[in-house]
Amino acid sequence: MVEHARKALIAGNWKMNLDHLQAIALVQKLAWTLKDRNFQSTTVEVAVFPPFTDLRSVQTLIAADKLDIGLGAQDLSRHDSGAHTGEVSGAFLSALACDYVLVGHSERRADHGETDEVCLAKVQAALRHKLTPVLCVGETAEDLEKVGAAAVPVSQLTTVLEGISADDEIVVAYEPVWAIGSGTPATAEQAEEVCSTLRDTIRNVHGDEAAERTRILYGGSVKSSNIAGLMRGANVDGALVGGASLDAEEFAAIAQFEKHVTVD
């Protein structure tokens, strides 16, 4: 077992799934399952990222039952308030006790044309409101073929790092676009190689302390059957889990990667 330098983060990105009633049911089941299995949160942190409309319900449940589950949103506005119809301010997420917010998920980059500059503005907005941004970076299959795995994620990360300071707390999620929802994850070696290069990028821009402190997650077809291998990489500090986070048993098993728990 690799000793991890940083506390692992297992983050569930629900995407546009589950209304607020279904959200409550899933979080309750997740909490029971983790408890049943004697899950210890000392080395692994678990967080869920439900749709906006579920956040209040999930926050209330986490607070009422004192659950050791972090909460994040899937996006935020780069603005703080005002005439931006349909947007959600980081201030509102902060008021709902969100810990995290995803920024620049590949689905938002593709569906909403979010550029690296937009992602930087959103990361800055998150930091202004004391949220930890989880910046998603990753190459498409075409990028992979043309320029290799690391070039695009490194450039996406560099644009953001250059606009924030070394003390700012962010989480980076390396998500190869070709691995998302495809059932074909990157190999553990591929994930480690790019995560290690991303850590070097942080070191180059913000120095050793930031590089050692910052958590870098892998995302893309993570399951209970492949998480232990992925987590063996010294530079992989956790996972951003999509589809598999919608199943409480499976997500709990992923959080227990140290025990090699798998669900068939």
Chain positions contacting ligand PGA, by CB under 6 A: 13, 175, 180-181, 219-222, 240-244
| C-beta closer to ligand PGA: residue 108 or 206 | 108
Active site members: 105, 175
Contacts of residue 188, Cβ cutoff 8 Å, sequence gap at least 6: 226, 229, 230, 232, 233, 236
Nearest to 61 by CA among 108, 97, 33: 97
Residue-by-residue DSSP string for 134-182: EEEE---HHHHHHH-SSHHHHHHHHHHHTTS-TT---EEEE--GGGTTT
| Residue of minimal Cβ distance to ligand PGA | 242
Question: Minimal distance in Å, beta carbon 200 to ligand PGA?
Answer: 23
Contact (CB, 8 A) for 55 and 93? yes
Reported for 226-229, long-range contacts at CB under 8 A and 24+ positions apart, including other chains, are 226/185, 226/188, 227/254, 227/257, 228/257, 228/258, 228/260, 229/188
| C-beta closer to ligand PGA: residue 89 or 106 | 106
Structure token digits, residue 251: 């997500």
Question: Minimal distance in Å, beta carbon 183 to ligand PGA?
Answer: 8
Radius of gyration (C-alpha) of the chain in whole angstroms? 17
Question: Minimal distance in Å, beta carbon 107 to ligand PGA?
Answer: 7
State which amino acid sits at residue 251.
Answer: F
Contacts of residue 142, Cβ cutoff 8 Å, sequence gap at least 6: none
Contacts of residue 26, Cβ cutoff 8 Å, sequence gap at least 6: 18, 246, 248
| C-beta closer to ligand PGA: residue 12 or 233 | 12
Question: Minimal distance in Å, beta carbon 155 to ligand PGA?
Answer: 20
Other CB atoms within 10 A of residue 223 CB: 20
Question: Minimal distance in Å, beta carbon 81 to ligand PGA?
Answer: 28
Distance (Å, whole) CA 123 – CA 133: 6
